[in-house]
Structure 1
C-alpha cells in the first residue's frame, strides 16, 4: 500500500478507533506517516517504543489505597484525557511478555484499572520478519486484534514529499535518475548501510551542510552504502558542471539542451525550483525544446511547487503542444 493510501486508511481507522498495525521494511517512513496523520488530525501523538519496555512498565506500580487494598498506578506516558494517537512503535520487536501485556490494552482499551480515554486510538508499527530486523513472532491472539497494513515505497510520492520538505535538489534529481536506489534493501546481505528513504534524508542533510561540491565518498557510503554512494558522487560531478539555470531562463531559445539523461534530470530539477509567474513564459519556451517526457517532468514539478502557473496562458499553450503526452 502506497504512503498516500496508508495515510487515508489510517485517518479512517483512527476515526472509528480501530487498532491498526503498519508493517514495512526498515527506513521506509512508517513512524513519519503516523506522526503526519496525527498532525493533520490536530491530535496529540504519544510515541511508545515497546522494545524498550518491560511488562511491568505498562501495568505500573502497586500501592495501597484508602480501603487497605492493593491497586495499580499506571505509568505517566499513558494518556488520561484529551484526544490523540497512542503509537506502539516497534511492537513486534518487544519481548513476548511485553506484547502479551498489550493484549488487553489493544482490544479492550484497558490495562488493569487503567482505561484508555475515548478520544484516543491505537496504532502500532514494526518491521517484517523477512527483513531480518530484531523481531519476535507476534502471537496470533495479539495479531488478530489489529487491522494490518503493508507499507510500500513509492518513488513518485517520496519525490513529492521531498520537494515540500526541502530535500537537497541533488538528492531528488539523483533519485529521479535512479529510482531503484530509493529503497534497495536486501535482507540477505549484512550491509550496515543501504539506500532507504530515511538514509537519503540523511544524505540531504549532509548536502545542505557541505563545504565542498562533492562530499567525501566514505561519508555518503556511511549513509546509503558503497554502491549507491559511488553512483551518487558520480552523478554530482554531472550536477556540478550544469549550466547556470539563470542562463537557461534568460536564453530559452538558444541555450543548449543536454543529451545525457542524468543531466536532463538535473536540469529539470533545478528549473522547477526556479519557476515563478514572472519567468514562466521563458521556462515554457525552454521546456518545449526538451524531450517530451522531460518537458512533462519539468512542468509537473514546477506546478507542484507553484500551482498558480496552471492558470496562465503559457501553461495552456504548453499543454496544447503536449496533449498527446498528457492524455
Structure 2
C-alpha cells in the first residue's frame, strides 16, 4: 500500500482500536506515517523503540507494599490516561524476551499490574524478513491478532509530503526525472547507503547547508550510494544552468531558452511547481515557444500542481492550438 492508503487505513484501525503491524523495507517512512496519522487525529503519540529495551524496561521494577506483597512499578513512558497511539517500532528486531513483553500489551492490553487505557491503540512496525535485516519470526498466535499492512513508497505521495516539509526543490525535480531512485534497495547487496525516502531527506539537509561542490559528491555517496549520487550530481549541475524561474515568468516571450534537453526538462519541472491562475498566462506563452514535447510536459505538470488552471483562457487557447498533439499523447 502506498503511504496515503496506509494513512487512511490507520485512521480506521485507530478508530476501532485494532492493533496493526506495518511491514516495509528500511527507510520507506513507516514511523513518519504513524506520527502523521496520530497528529491528524489529534492523538498523543508514544514512540517506543523496542529494539533498545531490555525485558525489565517494559515490566518495570518491583516494590513491597504495606502488606508485604511485591507490586510491579511500570515505566513512566507507558500512558496512564487520555487517548493516543502506542507505537512499538522495530518490534520484530527486538530480542525475544522483549517481544514477549510487548506481545502481552498487544494481546491483553496489560503488562503485570499495568493496563493500557481504553483510549489507546497499539501500532507496531518492522522490516520484512526478505530485507535481510536482523528480525525474529513473529509467533502465529500473535500474528493472528494483528492487521498486517505492507508499506510501499510512492513518488506522488512523497512529493506531496516534501513540498510541506521544505525538501530542496531540486531533489523533487530529480526524482520526478528518475522516479525509480526514490527507493532502490537490494537486500542481496551489502551496500551501506542506498536511496530511500529517509536518505533523500538527509540529502536535502546537506544541500541546505551550502556544502562545497567538491565535497558534495562524497556526502551524497554516503547518503544514497555511489550510483544514485552520481546521477543526482549530474542533475544538479544541469539544474545550475537553468534560467532563473522569476526571470522566465517575468519575460516568457523574450527570455533565452536553453538548448540542452536536460536543462529544458529541469526548467519545465521548476516552472510547473509555480503554476497558478496568476502565472498561467506566462506559462502558456512559454509553452508555445518550447519544442512541442516540452510544452506538453510543462502544461501537464502545471495542471497537476493546480488543476484549476485548466479552466483559464490561457490554458484553453494553448490546448486548442495543440489539440492534435494532446489527442495522440
> How does the TM-score come out when normalised to structure 1?
0.90
Q: Is the 8 A contact 2:195 2:228 kept in 1?
A: yes
What is the distance in 2 between the residues matched to 1:232 and 1:104? 46
Query: How far 1:308 sits from its partner (Å)?
Result: 6.4
Query: How far 1:284 sits from its partner (Å)?
Result: 2.7
Structure 1 residues 47 and 322: CA distance shift in structure 2, 3 A: farther
Structure 1 residues 213 and 257: CA distance shift in structure 2, 3 A: same
Match of 1:300 among 287, 298, 303: 303
- Structure 1 range deviating more: 43-52 or 269-278: 269-278
Structure 1 residues 194 and 311: CA distance shift in structure 2, 3 A: same
Number of residue pairs matched? 324
Structure 1 residues 2 and 321: CA distance shift in structure 2, 3 A: farther
Which secondary structure does the structure 2 equivalent of 1:216 belong to? helix
Query: How far 1:319 sits from its partner (Å)?
Result: 5.9
- Structure 1 range deviating more: 65-74 or 147-156: 65-74
Hey, what does 1:184 align to over in structure 2? 184
Structure 2: tracts of 5 or more residues without a match: none
Q: Is the 8 A contact 1:45 1:86 kept in 2?
A: yes
What is the distance in 2 between the residues matched to 1:73 and 1:111? 10
- Structure 1 range deviating more: 313-322 or 279-288: 313-322
1:153-195 superposed Cα distances (whole Å, 9 cap, x missing partner): 1112212221222211111111111111111111111111111
Q: Is the 8 A contact 1:173 1:265 kept in 2?
A: no
1:209-241 superposed Cα distances (whole Å, 9 cap, x missing partner): 215467521111010011111111111111111
What is the distance in 1 between the residues matched to 2:328 and 2:63? 69
What is the distance in 1 between the residues matched to 2:308 and 2:158? 23
What is the distance in 1 between the residues matched to 2:262 and 2:297? 11
Query: How far 1:278 sits from its partner (Å)?
Result: 3.4
Structure 1: tracts of 5 or more residues without a match: none
Hey, what does 1:25 align to over in structure 2? 25
Structure 1 residues 60 and 257: CA distance shift in structure 2, 3 A: same
Structure 1 residues 244 and 18: CA distance shift in structure 2, 3 A: same
